[in-house]
Each structure stands twice: as structure tokens, then as C-alpha cells.
């Protein structure tokens, strides 16, 4: 199981627990609303029995509808929060890789994004301080030089080919692939 799969499994497990809690709460609230409606219906006088029955059925129906709507809204809110949490955690998880794994990942990103010409790679201060010789070799083999000025990014890199910038920072990649990531997260967490 890859680190990404472990992360997604952990987040999925937590999301499922929260989802079950929200559903249980919504169901309890629905039961309360239904019981309240039933008690209200029972308290209506005998003289208005026919009207009371009609009203009680409407109250029960409305109570159930309200409870179901509230349950759906809570689940939707939870799903949205869970997705945003997962998206926000991606850069954090990627930055938590050990140096060898981290720079191997950056090497793969370079393979996919580097152009066939000389340029500059901008890394953040943390990555400049911990860069390994294998990644330096990779950078050099692609005709890139490391910028002396650290980039203000959360991780990843920015390639600069004169006027062409290729932003491979983690936040930029999450934003660029947001819809696909949301679809994948939905499929994993809520299928």
C-alpha cells in the first residue's frame, strides 16, 4: 500500500466514522420530530378526531420531510468538509515524506513537466536545505539551475524558462486537478 493509499485509507476511515455519527444524529432528530408530532396529534380533542387525524398525518409527513432534509443537508455539509480537509491535507502529507521519497516524487514531476531547454528551478527554503545529490544530478541533466532565491511555496517547485513559468507547487497542482481529485475522493469516501 503506497503512502497516498495509506493517507486516503486513514482519511476515508475517519470520514466514514463521522458520516455514521451525523446520520445517527439526524435519525435521532427525525425520531424526536416524529414522536413530537405524534404526541401533538394525540392531544387534540375527541370532537375534532377527523380533523385531528388529517392534521396529525400532515404534521408527521412534514416532520419526516424536515428530518430527511436536515439529514441530507448535514451529510452534504460533512462530505464537503471532508473533501476540503482531504484536499488541504495533500500538501501536508506530501511534505511529510522522507527526503529520499520526497525527491523521488519531485524527480517524477520534473520528468513530466520539464521542457527540453535550459531553465531555472525554484524550490522552497526547506527543500534547498535538504536537497540530495540524486535530485541535483537530475536537475543538472535537464539543463536546469537551482535558483538562489527560495520560492514562497508549500513544496514542489516552479520551473522558469525565461517568460514561461510552470508551477508544480503542491497547492497549484491540487488546484489544477481539483475536479478530478474531488471525483476520486468522492468515489473513495462515499461509494
Cβ neighbours around 132 below 10 Å, total? 13
CA atoms within 13 A on the CB side of 63: 21
Q: What is the pTM of this model?
A: 0.60
- Residue 172 predicted with pLDDT over 60: yes
Grid cell locating 30 = 427525525
Instruction: Give residue 79's pLDDT.
Output: 80
> What span, in angstroms and rounded, lies between the C-alpha atoms of 183 and 176?
14
Q: Does the structure show a pLDDT above 70 at 65?
A: yes
Question: What is the rounded average pLDDT of the residues 107-133?
Answer: 94
Amino acid at each position: 500500500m503506497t503512502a497516498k493509499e495509506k493517507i486516503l485509507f486513514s482519511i476515508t476511515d475517519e470520514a466514514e466514522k463521522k458520516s455514521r455519527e451525523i446520520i445517527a444524529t439526524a435519525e435521532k432528530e427525525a425520531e424526536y420530530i416524529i414522536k413530537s408530532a405524534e404526541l401533538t396529534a394525540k392531544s387534540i380533542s375527541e370532537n375534532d378526531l377527523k380533523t385531528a387525524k388529517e392534521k396529525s398525518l400532515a404534521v408527521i409527513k412534514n416532520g419526516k420531510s424536515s428530518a430527511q432534509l436536515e439529514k441530507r443537508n448535514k451529510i452534504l455539509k460533512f462530505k464537503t468538509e471532508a473533501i476540503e480537509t482531504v484536499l488541504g491535507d495533500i500538501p501536508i502529507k506530501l511534505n511529510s515524506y522522507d527526503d529520499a521519497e520526497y525527491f523521488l516524487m519531485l524527480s517524477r514531476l520534473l520528468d513530466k513537466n520539464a521542457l527540453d531547454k535550459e531553465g531555472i528551478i525554484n524550490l522552497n527554503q526547506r527543500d534547498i536545505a535538504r536537497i540530495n545529490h540524486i535530485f541535483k544530478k537530475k536537475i543538472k541533466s535537464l539543463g536546469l539551475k537551482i535558483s538562489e532565491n527560495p520560492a514562497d511555496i508549500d513544496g514542489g517547485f516552479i520551473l522558469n524558462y525565461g517568460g514561461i513559468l510552470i508551477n508544480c507547487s503542491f497547492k497549484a497542482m491540487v488546484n489544477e486537478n481539483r475536479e478530478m481529485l474531488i471525483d476520486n475522493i468522492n468515489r473513495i469516501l462515499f461509494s
